[in-house]
Structure 1
Amino acid sequence: MCSMQKNQSELVITGVGVTAAVGQGKTDFSSALMQGNHAFGIMQRPGRQKETAFIGAEISSLTYPAQFSKRVLRAASFSGQVALVTLHEAWNEANLDAIDPTRIGLVVGGSNIQQRELVQYYESYQERAAFIPPTYGLTFMDTDLCGFCTEQFGIRGLAHTAGGASASGQVAILLAAQAVQSGQVDVCIAVGALMDLSYWECQALRSLGAMGTDRYAAEPALACRPFTKQRDGFIYGECCGAVVIERAEAAAKRRQQPYAILSGWALATDGNRNPNPSCEGEVRAIQTALAQAQLTPGDIDYINPHGTGSIIGDETELQSICECQLSHAYINATKSITGHGLSAAGTVEVIATLLQMKEGRLHPTRNLDDPLDPSLNWVGGQSISHNIQHALSLSMGFGGINTAICLQRFEG
């Protein structure tokens, strides 16, 4: 196959949308990344605390496109509202109104994503169950987000959710890529949904040793510290991301300029129900993605890692990176700025990688004052110039799920 034919059949990303506590939309989000801005504090959203003081980053406000009526928004959960505005940005950038709606697909990454609102239902109606709103029969299901988004955007191709715990966002991208690759649809959108935690999940995750403690209760800005010796668990951050995947040939016909080529991906499992990570599984995912992309480790010049601040997870991830001979590549930690978006994290971090690729700059890593391995090529407290050619983005999820995605600069 000649290079021109190969380029035309490649999968590319042509639109992105992002909403996070540090900013709504790719412009504000990118600016916050490069400046290392954060929104960490004691969380205030109703249903998030119960005689507790969990630290996290919450979205302060949303700007809604005029096309969505107040009636539509009132009927949506918070996760649904955030998905709507995020998908709207990606949809418009990729000019999807020009596509046959029966040839557009949607994969929503995340399961059990609306827990906070469900807890609020339980508390409000536990003594009067007969009066619970009938819409609860829809909103407690993950598919409600698919139905809500396909209805608002007229999507008529495939639509489903994909659970992968904290790797859900990348699992959605993998499945969307496969849907386009197989010809099921011409365009597929992957949405990493906002996982709306209640105080129940926060408490359980802390008790499990996954979520950070109250060590930095007096200084929330210091609490999120991936890859440092003082880390003690992840710090939650509300966010949502959407990416549009299609073939380069189709994008060229619509004169859409891709962000990057989706050159390789992989999902590898550990056969393990528990939250502890596996170096072997992470290495296998990385090596499989590199092989699919026809890359050597030396070709990768930037890594966007999972990097949560987990006691065991961060060490295991760095071990995996070194075993894959990737210690030369630049590395930073997006979660140090955004917090851990759980089901949304993998999609949001792919978007962070694409925006850095577009800007020719790498964002700083907050609180990286005592890195676990100082020999690695860290981006520290200031953004730096770097033109990414080949990037690797990693995600891991409870239940032994490991994903890796290779992104290549688009030359067109």
Structure 2
Amino acid sequence: MNKRVVITGMGIYSCIGTNLEEVRQSLFEGKSGIVVDADRLDFGFKSPLTGMVPAPDLKKVLSRRQRISMGEESEYAYMATLEALHNAALSEADMLQREVGILYGNDSVSKAIVDATDIAREKKDTQLIGSGAIFKSMNSTVTMNLATIFGLSGVNMTISAACASGSHAIGLGFMFIQQGLQDLIICGGAQEINPYAMASFDGLGVFATDIDHPESASRPFDKRRTGLVPSGGAATVILESYESAMERGAPILAEVLGYGFSSNGGHISTPNIDGPAKAMRRALEQAGIKPEEVDYINAHATSTPIGDANEAKAIMEVFGSRPYVSSTKSMTGHECWMAGASEIVYATLMMQHGFIAPTINLEEPDDDIKELNFVSSTITQEFDIYLSNSFGFGGTNSAVVVKKFNHE
């Protein structure tokens, strides 16, 4: 039973915009969301660069009891999901009348754990931690909060797979619906941006060092890249069976064709070429298409020397130099657990509006990868099929193929 799986709604809360229209405009203009966070210097960071996301004010929309169990990432995810549901023409009453699932990517709750531990250490009384702390500090905080707030009765799981978490959530949602196990699933990814979540990364020395020019610090594929820039927020994609979407007259934005996955099985943090190539081939095989049918690749490319180079070589191995390639992380920084979901939103917005956003700051690619068809400034270009890559620590790889929707 291979049901067609479509995207009927999207929502975004990111450093380049807190709604779809703001983000579309930022992508088209090649606008960076990277800033210097002075608090990080005080904290002891070597690199204070980040994609800054505004804290949402939920006091007017959620009760205190609902809010006390929500950490930073859950608040972002709530905002993105509200927009996605509106975009999909789904009311809260609609969701209560049908079985709706949620699969969301998340792989840290650092601030909630540190805050709770600090209270216990200072007061020597665990009861003073607060009744909401446990629900903030579990890795499944996003799915448990959203499932409760929206009254969801379908599949309810958090996908924890490092920087591929959001992509795997969408891929698994695709498989659930394709196999007829669910008709409608809220999928996405969320990432906290506080210093607690990023300090250990900074300690590894993987962050970009050009703090005097924050907007040009993230430079995927460029010879002068010095490392990634951390970021965060949340992105939600509503996946639905074609039959369900047609039955309720839903707006159909795109169709998910395939999902590929693999594990490198090697170094815990250094990516290779074979794993990403395998995930991309598997996504194409599941989609039933040939490499030459893919018009655009939204690369994982985080602006790290080895990661970018190996991904570019994997793309060249599978696709050659034909498809357009860009990395939106040049504008957003690396949104970590959220990135695999947000980049589906970014690429779908491009496909809807007939343009390809650039890898900003790409002035000169590495010599051994310069044959790729890089987009370094926005181009007006209609395209029908794209592939989005997401890779993470531990060697986890995910690739998703999405097509412009048609009723045939």
TM-score range with shorter-chain normalisation?
over 0.9
Q: Distance in 2 between matches of 1:48 and 1:93?
A: 39
Query: Against the structure 1 CA distance between its residues 101 and 283, is the aligned structure 2 distance closer, same or farther, given a 3 Å change threshold?
Result: farther
* Alignment gaps of 5+ in structure 1: none
User: TM-score by structure 2 length?
Assistant: 0.92
Name the structure 2 match of 1:276.
270
Confirm or deny: 8 A CA contact 2:69 2:145 kept in the other structure: no
1:263–1:408 CA contact under 8 A, matched in 2? yes
* Residue segments in structure 2 that go unaligned for 5+ positions in a row: none
> 2:381 aligned with 1:411, yes or no?
no
2:13 to 4, 13, 19: 19
Give, in whole Å, the separation in 1 of the partners of 2:230 and 2:180: 37
CA distances 1:80-130 after superposition (whole Å, capped 9, x unpaired): 111111111111221233345551100110122x21333233334422141
Partner of 2:375: 379
| 1:174 partnered with 2:171 | yes
Aligned length: 400
Query: Structure 1 residues 61 and 195 mapped into 2: Cα distance closer, same or farther (>3 Å)?
Result: closer
Per the TM alignment, residue 75 of structure 1 is displaced from its structure 2 partner at its CA by 4.4
Letter in structure 1 aligned against 2:247: K
**Deviation of the 1:64 alpha carbon:** 4.9
Q: Distance in 1 between matches of 2:56 and 2:38?
A: 16
Aligned AA (2:281) = Q
CA distance in 2, matches of 1:221, 1:107: 33
Deviations 1:369-411 (A, max 9, x none): 1222333212113x11111111010010111111111111112
Match 1:107 to one of 69, 89, 103: 103
Q: Is the 8 A contact 1:101 1:154 kept in 2?
A: no
Contact 1:108 1:161 in 2 (8 A): yes
Amino acid at match of 1:394: N
Please give the alpha-carbon distance, in whole angstroms, between the structure 2 residues aligned to 1:376 and 1:107.
34
- Aligned positions of 1:347-362 closer than 5 A: 347-362=341-356
The change in CA–CA distance for 1:145 and 1:375 in structure 2 (over 3 A counts) is: same
Give secondary structure in 2 for the equivalent of 1:245: strand
Equivalence for 1:161: 158
What is the rounded CA distance, in whole Å, between the counterparts of 1:396 and 1:356 in structure 2?
22
User: Does 1:389 find its partner at 2:384?
Assistant: yes
Moved segments of 4+, more than 6 Å: none
Hey, what's the Cα distance between the residues in 2 that align with 1:351 and 1:155? 23
**In 1: Cα distance, 2:180 partner to 2:298 partner:** 29
For 1:256 and 1:48, how far apart are their aligned partners in 2? 48
Cα distance change of structure 1 residues 35 and 70 upon mapping to structure 2, 3 Å threshold: farther
Q: Distance in 2 between matches of 1:147 and 1:100?
A: 16
SS in 2 for 1:126: helix
Given candidates 300, 309, 313, the residue that maps to 2:307 is 313
Decide whether aligned partners of structure 1 residues 216 and 84 sit closer, same or farther in structure 2, where only a CA change above 3 A counts.
same
The answer for the alignment partner of 2:122 in structure 1 is 127
Identity of aligned residues (%): 28
1:337 aligns with 2:335: no
Q: Does 2:181 match 1:187?
A: no
User: Structure 1, residues 298-354: CA drift from partner, whole Å, max 9, x if none?
Assistant: 111100010101111000000000000242111111101111110000000011010
1:50 lines up with 2:46 in the alignment: no
Structure 2: distance between partners of 1:48 and 1:156: 44
User: SS of 1:267's equivalent?
Assistant: strand
RMSD of the alignment, in Å?
2.1
Partner of 2:396 in structure 1?
401
Shift of 1:195: 3.3
Alignment partner of 1:395: what SS?
Answer: strand
Matched, 1:328 2:325: no
2:204 to 208, 214, 220: 208
Matched AA of 1:304: N
Which shows bigger deviation, 259-268 or 144-153? 144-153
The amino acid that maps onto 1:252 is M
Look up the equivalent residue of 2:162 and give its one-letter code: A
2-structure distance, mates of 1:216, 1:232: 8
Identify if the C-alpha distance between structure 1 residues 262 and 198 changes in structure 2 by more than 3 Å, giving closer, same or farther. same
- Equivalent pair of 1:43/1:49 in contact (CA under 8 Å): no
Equivalent of residue 234 in structure 1, options 213, 228, 233: 228
* Cα contact 2:101–2:182 (8 A) shared by 1: yes
CA distance in 2, matches of 1:375, 1:358: 27
